[in-house]
Amino acid sequence: MRWALALGGALALAGCATPNERVTLLAPVQPEKIESGDRGSLVVEYEGGETAITGENEQAQLRGRTRPPQLTTLDQPDPRHVAIVGNFPPDVGTLEVPFEKVGSMELSPQQTAQVTDGLRSALQDRPAPQIEVVGHTSSDGGASRNMTISLERAAFVANILRGLGFEIDDTDIIGRGEALAVSEIGDEIDDVRYRRVDVIVR
């Protein structure tokens, strides 16, 4: 996930820029949540080359079609940019609910508590949240059967959460079957990591 934010008059379009236009790559709002190497970046293109902007609070002054941008690093971010970022919605959160047994449809009290606690925490800063419940299976077995199991698991988790007071629309209960497992590790592989339900909060 890319966390840094670019704000400015143009991206990768220096040929359309005037000398007063600038592009700024802001520092992450919550740097502690970012994995190493997962910072944002952008590229300004011009005739004959391109310039990458990769540093936090690095700003490029665009200088037209034929000249490379002039780069500077801001000591402090522009307060206007900080205000914009502060109004962004919270990041999407995903809670994984594992089903360790093949074809199982059970959650332990501990698993239920972990999911509900995580959901309540994720919902604190969301005035109008959307909760999506997505079931997956390993790629072992038939695709049709796996699709059925994944949807049943998603509905099972959703019904538990509804019973605890969480609002979940029927259209947000989804079965993906073995699709994720097949795309990542191949077919006919029994991998417990894919026997799960993802509870996604937007």
Answer for the pair 7, 24: CB distance below 8 angstroms, yes or no. Answer: yes
pTM of the model: 0.59
Torsion from C-alpha of 101, 104, 106, 108, nearest 10 degrees = 0
Domains of the chain and any CATH numbers = 5-86 (no CATH), 93-201 (3.30.1330.60)
Reading the chain (202 residues) residue by residue, the pLDDT tens digits are 333 444 544 444 444 555 568 888 777 666 655 555 556 778 888 888 888 888 888 888 888 888 888 888 888 777 777 777 666 666 678 888 888 777 777 788 888 888 888 888 877 777 778 899 999 999 999 999 999 999 999 999 999 889 888 899 999 999 999 999 999 999 999 999 999 999 998 8
